[in-house]
Structures are given as structure tokens and as C-alpha cells.
Amino acid sequence: MFDPDTLCFTARGIALSGLAPLIDAQVPEHGKAAITPTSVEWRLREGRFVLEIEPGDPIRLRCRVDGIGGPLDSIGLRFDHVTGVRRYLRNGYQSWDGSYFVAPGTPTGEGPPGKAPTLGFATTALLPVGDGALVLGFSRHDRFQTRYRFGGTVVAMTIDVETLLDGSGALEGEPMVLFEDGEVEDALRRWSGIAAAESPLPPRLPAHRITGWSSWYNHYAMIDETTIRAELENCRAFRDANDVPLDVFQIDDGFTPEMGDWLETRPLFPHGMKPLIDDIAAAGFTPGLWIAPFMVGNRSNLFAAHPEWVVRDVAGGPLVQMRFYGEFRWHKRSEEYYILDVTHPDAASYIADVFRTWRHDWGVGYFKTDFMLFGSEHGPDLAIWHQKGLSRVTIWRRMAALIRENIGEAFWLGCGCPLWASVGYVDAVRIGRDMGVNWHGEYSAESLLRDLATRNHANGVLWQADPDCVLLRDRFHELTDTQIVSLARFAGASGGVLMTSDTLSTLPPERTRLFASLLNARARGIQFRALGQDGPICYTVDGRDFLLNISQEEIAYAGQTVPPYATVAL
């Protein structure tokens, strides 16, 4: 696969050539490469850049610099001439930024930079004109964030492959693997297996799928103690009447007054959370609560008392991660949201006490941690942490270790969460955007349809995938009956987390039967075929083929006419 005469990697008709070193996102001035079958070395104006190559299947690559002074922002490789690629996987970093296949030459666009089709993370799959894929991926994710920058044209791509060192003092990039496979998802699943094997902490894989009820997608922030108790009785009655494994009863956002004030409750919960959690446990459910541990609202009591506990920007003020300046202020009073500085010993002690209290004093057994990206978005060019010289992933995993230490073996779902840095800490990860009430748009079925397919390879290998709550109610959404049923079956077939937020006592009989059947079904897992192809989603469960037609037109597939939005066994 590697030709030392041309510095070119080739497989399945794809050629990665034009190899050059990258330091701080630029190709440095360098001399002619000294090449052997196991290394490439470039002399720099100061020091040298070395690419180590370990032949085999997979090929293993690692780059480093020697004899250079000063901390580095990043180190990596540039492939300046990549040909034979029909599409590439733009793999997002966290729950909400999406993973999808892109045609070479696609422009950056005008959307958020973190969601750009020209920016990816952790791994990519290059699809040839024929079948299969060539995977170029990093195998370690516990120290640094790793990224891909895609450019060039439809004929010849450019790919920058980088480790973000964040001025930590490290001079070596994370290890990479390069291999091919005849099936796209098999190739990605192999990469997940490599990442699992090389993780310093083994993945946490629950023995059974996480099932239950969450308050968010029905009541959103408009919850109180009376409403929660009524829904608890509805869930108990549904579970017992249908004899289903409905395990978790989770109270989502809406019970705390401000982000950061996690040991306080709103007046709508006059007895606090512990008596309510005790009653949830007494009803036979695992009690769950929502928290966003990195978030601190500017009007919170926490920030008023300890402004030094938040991350600063380079100008010296609080680094603003999220803003609500106009009429709409979410459901809190704060206009700005900051990042809790977990490198500050007192801030770390506070958030550790929150998790310890929730777990051991209140009895919480299921933690949904949200907006976890807050701790891993910024490097030292934007963020000033109390402790200097740490990479963003090192900081994020400090919070993760603190959480796991204080919740013990309780279930932990990461939402808005780094997908790869979380391995070994979380039990489950949200794999897409919030489930909305429309088929198209930012908060809609589109994320589920796209991201479940492109992130399925990690389900049951690195963590349990959470496709988000299924909608079952027959009102207060813009989805058709066929769409509701198709999405529920699709999410249910994944073998990952299966939850709803709907009031179970009000479901139509056919939706009651549908949810009960999904809960009682063996968690089998799903296999996608023809990833990266245009047209309907094809997947296999227990050897049976299914088709989810997401277009507006009826199509003929395998001799069967498939109506729009239908999930059909073939």
C-alpha cells in the first residue's frame, strides 16, 4: 500500500500522495525527504520532522518533531493530492455536529464552522468509485483532539490530518491507522474496535439496553413536582400492564433555578429532589436526573459567589460559550453561559460534591450530562484555564474522571458529548441532535436518519448509542403516522437506548402496542449496507433486510413498491 519511491499510499483505486509535514497547521520550510520503507524524515530550519511507518494490516503511522523549541499548537500531515475518492466521511466530534458523507470539492458553506463539511475529527472513510472504503483514523483519543481538514477539487482532494497539542509541550502526534475493507460499515466498525483496544480505559458496555422515560420531549422545562408524580404513576401502570422492561425514570432540565446551582431547586419542587427520587426508586425505577456540569449561568448564585471558577477569555473576562441577549432566554434568567473551570481545585471540589450528593445522598442511579462539549471546544488561543499547559481533551477527561469517581457504577449518558474522548467513562452517548417534531430541519428526524447510520459502527463497541427519545403521541408534532412508526422502528432496531417522553396513559392503542413490542424485542443491533450511497437507507436486523425510504416519491426496491417514509421488511 505504501510506495517509498513516490511517498504514496494506494488502495482500492484511491491514491494519497503529495505528502508533506504540518506544524501549527502550516507546511514548514523543509528539505528533501529521506525515505525508507518504515520512515520519512524531513529536515527543518530547526530540528526535524519524522513520520514513522509500521507496515502491516493496518498500516500504522505516527509523526513527531525533534530538536524544535517552544510549544506547538498542532502537528500532522498534509496529503496534497488525493485522487480516486467518490465521497469521504466528515465525522463530527460531538453529539450534535453530525457525521455524513461528502463529495470532494464541496465548499465550506455558511453554517457553523464546527459543522462544516470540510472539517472532521477522529477518523474518515474514503469511498472509491467501486465498493468498500479506505479508512484513515486515529487510534488514541484520551490525550488530544484530532482533526481532518478537507479541501481541493472533485478530481484531486487535499487532506490535512492533525493532532491538536494545545501548547501542552508534547511534540508527537497521536497514532494513526490506515486500512481498507470491502464494506464501508465493516471498515468503520474495525476502526472502532482498534480504538476500543487502544483506549487506556476499556469501554463501558451495559449488559442490556437502557430503556425508560424522560420528561424533556413532552414537558420540556415546564415541569413541577405534581406533573412528575403523575407521569411516574403513568409509567408504573404502563410497565406493569404491558410487562415490559421500562427501567429508567429520568427528570430532565427544569428543576434547577440556574445552570451551576445544581444543589438548589425551583419553588415548583417544594420538597426538593430527594423525596421524589426516593419515590421513583420505590416504584421500581432507576431514578435519573439531568445536569450540565460545565455550564455556569451569569445570573447563577455560583457565579455571583465564585466568578474565579469559570474559564477566562484572552481579554481577561469570562469566556462566553452561549448567549441569549434578546426576548428569548431559554427558560432561565441568564443572558450568558460560561464554562466551569475544572482545573481550579475549588471548582473541581464543588462539582465533585454535586455528583457525590446526587448519587449517595439523593440516590440518583442514572445521570444524563448535557452540553458536555463546553469543556472541549477551545484551545489556548481562546481559553485561559486556571492550570496552564493542558490539552483540551486532558481537561475534559479530568471532568469525566471526577464524575465517574463520584457516581460509581451508576449509568451515565453523555449528551452534546465528545464521542471519542468519552470512551471508558460513559455508558451511552447521544449520537445526534435532539429529536424534534418535524421531518426536516435542525431539530428533526434528519439527524436520527443520518447520524444513526454513520455512527452505528461504535454502538456496542465504544459505548451504547442513544438515538434520542421516540415520539409516540398523536398530537403536538408535524409528523405523519407513517413517519412516527417508521422512526420508532428504526430507533428501536438500533439496539441502543430506547426511551420516550410521551404521557404513556394517553397513547393510542396501536402506539401502546408498538412501544411495548420495541421494549420487549431482543436488543439485536443493526447493520447498514451501502453507506455513502444515494437513495434510501438499507439495513439488516437478524439477517432480514429493511428499507427506510426518506424521499417524497414512491420507489421500487427489490421488486417491491415502497411508500415514502416507510420502514419495510424486504
Rounded to a whole number of angstroms, the distance between the first and last alpha carbons of the chain is 39
Instruction: Indicate if the pLDDT at residue 168 is higher than 80.
Output: yes
Q: Are 196 and 467 in contact (CB under 8 A)?
A: no
Q: In CATH, what number does 2-198 get?
A: 2.60.40
Q: Give residue 119's pLDDT band: very low, low, confident or very high (50, 70, 90).
A: very high
> Averaged over 52-68, what is the pLDDT?
96
Name the phi and psi angles at 481, rounded to 5: -60, -40
Its CATH architecture, for the domain 211-295+344-378+391-526, is: Alpha-Beta Barrel (3.20)
- Reduce the DSSP state of residue 453 to 3 states and report it: helix
Partners of residue 419 on adjacent β-strands = none
Write out pLDDT tens, residues 178-211. 999 999 999 999 999 999 999 999 999 999 999 9
> Averaged over 115-135, what is the pLDDT?
96
Write out pLDDT tens, residues 485-500. 889 998 998 889 999 9
Cα–Cα distance list, 77 to 27, 63, 342 (Å): 9, 8, 32
Write out pLDDT tens, residues 275-302. 999 999 999 999 999 999 999 999 999 9
Cα–Cα distance list, 418 to 121, 219, 375, 413 (Å): 10, 27, 9, 12
Over pLDDT 70: what percentage of the chain?
A: 98
Write out pLDDT tens, residues 218-249. 999 999 999 999 999 999 999 999 999 999 99
Q: Give residue 164's pLDDT band: very low, low, confident or very high (50, 70, 90).
A: very high
In which order are the strands placed within the sheet that holds 295-297? Answer: 295-297, 336-339, 322-323
Per-domain residue ranges for the chain?
2-198, 211-295+344-378+391-526, 537-569
Task: Please state, in angstroms and rounded to a whole number, the distance separating the CA atoms of residues 378 and 145.
Answer: 10
CA neighbor of 99 nearest in space, from 127, 120, 113: 120
CA neighbor of 474 nearest in space, from 437, 441, 443: 437
Grid coordinates of 282: 420505590
Give the pLDDT of residue 6.
87
Q: Are 49 and 28 in contact (CB under 8 A)?
A: yes
209 Cβ neighbours under 8 A, 6+ residues apart: 464, 495, 496, 497, 498, 523
Instruction: Indicate if the pLDDT at residue 553 is higher than 70.
Output: no
